[in-house]
Amino acid sequence: MFLKNLETVGFKSFADKIDVQFVPGVTAVVGPNGSGKSNITDAIRWVLGEQSARSLRGSKMEDVIFAGSETRRSQGYAEVSLTLDNRDKTLPLEYDEVQVSRKVYRTGESEFLINKEPCRLKDIVELFMDSGLGKETFSIISQGKVEEILNSKPKDRRVIFEEAAGVLKYKQRKQKAEGKLEETEANLHRVKDILSEIEGRVEPLKRQASIASDYLEKKEDLKKEEVALLVTQIEDMDEEWKTLEETIENQRQQERKLAEKVAGQEQKIAEIREKSSYTDNSIEETHGQLLQCTKELESLTGKRELFQEKKKHYEEKKGALEHNQSKLREELKELEDLSREAEQTRTEKKQKVQNTKAELKTTASVLYEEIETIDETIESLKADYIDLLNEQAAKRNEKQHLNKRLHQLDTAHSDTRTKKLREELEDVKNQLKEVSEKLRPLEEEEQRLKDACDVKSKEWTETKDSYEEWRQKLYQGYQHMESFKSRKNALEEMKESFAGYFQGVKAVLKAREERKISGIEASVLEALSIPEEYMTAIETALGAQAQHVITENEKSARNAIEWLKKTNQGRATFLPLDAVKERFVPERTIENLRTLDGFIGVASALVEAEEKHSVIPDHLLGHIIIARDLQSANAIAKATGRKFKAVTLEGDVVNPGGSMSGGAKSGKSSSLFTQEQELKELRKKVADYDRKMQNAEKKVKNLKESMNEKEKSLRELEEENDSIKEQARRCREKEKELQLSLSNYEERLSFLDKEYSQQKEEQVRTEEDGKKIELELKDLEDKISRTSEEVDRLTLVKKEKEENRETLVAKEQELKVALATQKAEAENAEDHYAQVTSAYEEKQNALKEVEKNHTELMEFFDNKETKEEIEKKITVKKEQEKTLSDTLNNLKEKRRSYQEEMEELDTQLREDHRIHSNYLQNLQDKEVKANRLDVELENSLRYLEKEYVMTFEKAKSIYHRVDNTDEAVTRVKLIKRGIDELGNVNLSAIDEYEEVKERFDFLKDQEEDLISAKETLRNVMNEMDDEMKRKFEETFVQIRGEFNGVFNQLFGGGKADLKLTDPDDMLETGVEIIAQPPGKKLQNMSLLSGGERALTAITLLFSILKIRPVPFCVLDEVEAALDEANVDRFARFLTEFSTDTQFIVITHRKGTMEHADVLYGVTMQESGVSSVVSVRLEESESLLEV
């Protein structure tokens, strides 16, 4: 087996694809330092399975991807492929040629392939495991391996011998075994700790389990006694409550009559009060009109007096105002003329000052600015002159360099391209074209079939996933539906058996179903439809009335009562439709309550019933008010005089008279109301689920049929694809062979063409650069001449300016004196203008005031209202005042009459209220007692359901009434006392004891297993130590036997030996290297010269390769430290050794190159990008000098 070729794309500095062909023997890879030749070694190491980024000279695995350069972008992945000749079947595969590929992306994802088939990194490592190749074998030897031998201590050096002996895997196994041993010991300690803890729990749990069993027996005895007692108490309370309800119903009818009488009186009082209120409003309105009339009369009288005074005053003032107005206008005209003159003088003076300032500024600054500007220009031109001289010198030097390079290019020449090489290239191209044309339709068909398979596979997977999803939904749906059906059936059975109803009610309803009694309509609960949000409130409001029975008429009710007596089946309350009457809250009261926060409505308006039963909700709930919460209920009771019952949404009650009841419910309610509501919801859910299940069954069936059809189509496509894929594979192999040949030919031609083209391009560029520099030099000479002339001219100008300086200084002084005089004149003109302006404004204001007074005077005389008109208005207002006063007296008399009538009615109403209140209190006391019995009855039923999980009917069917209630209570107390004496009972102790006992026995078995495993691991580790000792000793002896012969051959004489530092401890002993080069005495390797030490280390590596041969070996600059003579010996030995092992040598030593069968050069013609070329020996020398 040997290495045939290496392909890389985007690996480290190899940005472009490279293909290096290898042959048996020695292949040398040369190139200057930094060109990337060692990346060839890294590529081989990486594809063989290296996982350490540091071994590849990086910090992370993504560092092997080309990172980009000045001219190229970074790449997204790196790929390396290694092709091996496997005709001798060294690798356990049937192929004559094996290609191993590895690819890594910047995202961190990796791909591995063997003969282009995806695999795992583990598969690649296992493929090379027994072949002598791999990242831990001697198939790759770098300069670092030589340095490791040179610089290591004897004990550290033994690692190389361990690698050769193959004991590293035993060391790793031993480390794993030691880890397992530590883990086993830790587990054993944990098991012992747990056992110690559990052992102390077994006995206490055993005692607790015994107490728990005794407790359960007593609880069963308590159940028998207490349930029988509850049955007796519930029946007694039910009988008492029914009797009380009949009494309450009779008293309620009397109370209704009294309430209607009081309501009528209140209505009459309200009407009178409304009339009185209307009269009050009229009185207030009339009184207001009278006050307004009086005010207007007073106003008119004052106006008449004011008119007379003003008229007299304005007649006296009119002449003086007209005289002042004329005089002020004349004075203003004179001031306007003076103001214009002052303004003109002020402006002229200011302008003079500005002109003088400008002339002074110009005169003072021109001289200095011009001279300063000239100095700056001269200095700048001198600096430019020096820069131009420097640039001229640089261009002349550059011109000389270009002339020299042109001379070199003129003398260079390129090889002529051979005709034979092109003919061979054309022949290969023709063959490749034929194969490509044959392969193209096969690839298209292969891709088509692959795409079809992918689509079909995706469709099958999606269908399968949908099938599994719907099948799971169907199963879950069945579970939910069965759960709902089970609960629905239980509730329907309870409803059909009238579970939860009192005995008498249940008997009547069953008799109705069996047609034993006629005229029975329904129970109140059956007749009413109650919204869920009001369920608790209505349930509380109705109480036991929910079980009243509705009959067609009084006769039907009498017949039912007779039937109950006759059959002795209890009592029931009946509501004859032709006898019961509505009870209601007055509409006016409801209107007032609607303004209160928290008012929901009258209970009867919140439920629904059939038309024929419409009187029932009004009879039972028409006088009950529903409130949002207890605070709202209190407010409603207060507003209604506590005449009506108020019930909150949570079931709290404010009774007529003011008593309140409420609190937390005892446990989860399971009343007839909630059962009925739950049954309705369950019926709807079962119907919905039944419909959904039918749809789901159809969906599952369709998906299964579709899945089977798609699976069959997928299998047919895959078989067809396999056939096309095999044909395409054979074509690709042929195409690859031809492409390799074509690449070699093109690479050789490309190298020659590129070299010649580069020379030509450089020559043209150089000539163009020369011409450009000549033009630049000519331009520079012109600039230098012009700059010198400009400096001379400006120097003369500066001299003339300095001569004029004295004349300009004298003129500047004259202008300063003139400026001071003009400033004083301007200030005087400004003051005069300000005085004139101020006087003008004062006169103007005075004129405005006079004109204003004159306007007011004229307006007064223009007013049309006369004294006679004012007198006429005063007469009308006096008559209006008298009329309003008479009306006000009449209204007050009417109000007095209303008040006397209201006082008489109010006295009668208070008496009726007292009588009604006393009657209501008596009724309330009975209702409170009935409510108490109702609560006690409900609590007993709930306690029975919560504590013993059974309905009253079920309890009655199992347990019989007790003969003596007091004795039964005593027995229950004694049993409860016995349970209390047991204290806190751990009911889970019975199961917990069994669990702990079982766990204790299990851990005991675990302890024994761990002790056995610990002993086994120690035996295995001892066996590994014996095996490592044996292998190390055998390998050392073999290497030692080869070492002296290889040393003699490489050094041309002398002798050498290997010695153990501690022969008695084969697991820890170090290795000393003793060498005696020709002409020297035998000594430790550390005492040899640098070159001798390096060659001795190489000797050791070759000795190891002799006993552990590898198919191929990569040597990365291992001979770098040798002198020329030793390099030659090394190379000749390498040639002899290459008959059994293929060598790929990364080198820059000429002696090694001369003995190579094939030479490749690695260059970096483009910055940061390496390329590989095939070179001759004479070319390799120049390549190293680049």
Separation CA 954–CA 670 (nearest Å)? 15
Residue (of 34, 276, 28) closest to 901 by Cα position: 276
What residues have CB less than 8 Å from 885, skipping those under 6 apart? 290
Which residue type occupies 416?
T
Contact yes or no for 523/567 (Cβ under 8 A): no
Residue (of 916, 898, 890, 893) closest to 271 by Cα position: 898
User: How far is CA 30 from each of CA 673, 1135, 1162, rounded to the nearest angstrom?
Assistant: 98, 17, 6
Q: Is 655 annotated as a binding residue?
A: no
Which residue type occupies 469?
E
Separation CA 485–CA 1170 (nearest Å)? 78
Separation CA 337–CA 273 (nearest Å)? 85
What SS3 string covers 372-399? HHHHHHHHHHHHHHHHHHHHHHHHHHHH
Q: Is 33 annotated as a binding residue?
A: yes
Per residue in 651-687, is it b (16+ CB within 10 Å) or e — as a string? Answer: bbbbbbbeeebeeeeeeebbbbbebbeebeebeebbe
Q: Which residues pair with 2 in a beta bridge?
A: 85
User: How far is CA 10 from each of CA 36, 43, 78, 666, rounded to the nearest angstrom?
Assistant: 13, 11, 5, 78
Q: Is 37 annotated as a binding residue?
A: yes
Separation CA 874–CA 299 (nearest Å)? 9
Q: Distance of alpha carbon 76 from its chain centroid, rounded? A: 29
Q: What share of the chain is helix, strand, coil (3-state, %, to 5)?
A: 70, 10, 20
Contact yes or no for 1076/1083 (Cβ under 8 A): yes
Contact yes or no for 1153/1177 (Cβ under 8 A): yes
Residue (of 415, 435, 609) closest to 530 by Cα position: 609
DSSP code for 961: P
Residue (of 1036, 1033, 1078) closest to 1056 by Cα position: 1078
Other beta carbons within 10 angstroms of residue 246's beta carbon come to 10
Which residue type occupies 701?
K
Separation CA 116–CA 1064 (nearest Å)? 51
Contact yes or no for 100/81 (Cβ under 8 A): yes
Separation CA 530–CA 539 (nearest Å)? 9
Q: Is 36 annotated as a binding residue?
A: yes
Q: Is 32 annotated as a binding residue?
A: yes
DSSP code for 671: -
Question: What pairing do the DSSP bridges indicate for beta strands 574-576 and 549-551?
Answer: parallel
Separation CA 117–CA 210 (nearest Å)? 69
| 143 HSE (CA, 13 A, CB side) | 10
In which residue are the tokens 């079809």 written? 452
Binding residues: 32-39
Provide the annotated binding site for ATP: 32-39
